[in-house]
Amino acid sequence: MNPNFLPFEKPIIELERKIEELRKFSQNENIDVSVEIQSLEKKSLEIKKEIYKKLSAWQRIQIARHPNRPYTLDYIKLLMDDFTEIHGDRTFADDQALIGGLAKIDGQKIMIIGHQKGRDTKESLKRNFGCAHPEGYRKALRLMKMANKFNIPIITFVDTPGAYPGVGAEERGQAEAIAVNLREMMMLEVPIIVIVIGEGGSGGALGIGVGNKVLILEHAYYSVISPEGCAAILWKSGEKTEEAAAALKLTGTDLIKLKIVETIIPEPLGGAHRDPKTTAENIKNAILDNLKELSALSKEELLEQRYRRFRQIGFFTDTTGTDPEIAESENTEEEIKEKTEKTLN
């Protein structure tokens, strides 16, 4: 049983412990308690469904940060063949917080680029907790330009609290590196699919986040700032973190309404860490479906579609009332649910 449970999962964990104790008792005493176990498993499933149906924004963030949540390299192993990692920005260093290389998915050649966190203290320090330096973003851009040269689609996995804000990173041009990536990604002539797989934090996420399609896992988040940072700035208090999370509109449902992302990729009950293989399969289906759609477009159409996609972000309502066109374009809860379910087909 996974000891890394979250606070709101306490009722589930208590039932799982009882089930485990009953199984051990059955083995040690050679007594059949299968009926009792099945009853508890049914109850556990019902509680899980009830809890995960009503998650708050802050609870989704806790799932996105779960220590057992799959990272970019985990999905590469589960999804892709012939992965060859490419290192370095040819200017300063090889940033291990942002990895990338050539791979195949169902025989389709792709360039995969993504943030990578560590599992233990040693690896976390090596990966800088998924917070990339400017050389990481320059490496990513080098790989994207290589993909553009050889007409290879680009897939990016976003999973970072944000770009590294240290003095050294600023001295080497952190803001400039991200800004250049935003400009250059807008002009690449190949399909670009961006998937937020965990944390989508600020400019650190945007540095590899410009694409024809931006997708998000069900329990991932995408935001201009962390809830902790928002609470510290607006309320001068860490006690307002949950309120900040709700106000930031950073969950998949909110992001679809705001036209920041196109699709929510479903996760298994309990989150991606509960069943990485199923999550990977859902990601694979989403990638292949979107690649098929984008591959039908000409280079000019790809550029125009990407430009229009980002130009529509930031619509607003004036004081005279809601713009009828905007009102009609907003997704209802039912439409969002329907889009999510179609991803699995």
In the block, tokens 């996995």 appear at 157
Can you give the pLDDT at residue 96? Answer: 95
Share of the chain above pLDDT 90, in %: 68
Of 35 and 64, which is predicted with more confidence? 64
State pLDDT tens for residues 63-97.
999 999 999 999 999 999 999 999 999 999 999 99
Q: Which of the two residues, 321 and 142, has the higher pLDDT score?
A: 142
Structure tokens at 272: 């991606």
> Rounded to an integer, what is the distance from CA 189 to the centroid of its chain?
24
Mean pLDDT over each residue of the chain, to the nearest integer: 88
Average pLDDT value for residue range 195-203: 93
Whether 333 shows a pLDDT value over 70: the answer reads no
Residue 42's pLDDT is what?
83
Give the pLDDT confidence score for residue 343 in this predicted structure.
Answer: 53
SS3 140: helix
Say which residue, 330 or 1, is predicted with more confidence.
330
Query: Which ranges constitute the DSSP H helices of 172-212?
Result: 174-187, 202-206
Averaged pLDDT for residues 254-274 = 92
What average pLDDT does this structure show over 46-58? 88
Tokens of 326: 């905007």
57 CB-near residues (< 8 Å, 6+ apart):
221, 227, 242, 245, 246, 248, 250, 251, 254
Task: Give the model's pLDDT for residue 341.
Answer: 60
The pLDDT tens digits for 200-234 are 988 999 999 999 999 999 999 999 998 998 999 99
pLDDT of residue 334: 62
Share of the chain above pLDDT 70, in %: 90
Q: What are the angstrom distances between the C-alpha of 228 and each of 92, 162, 239, 339?
A: 32, 13, 9, 31
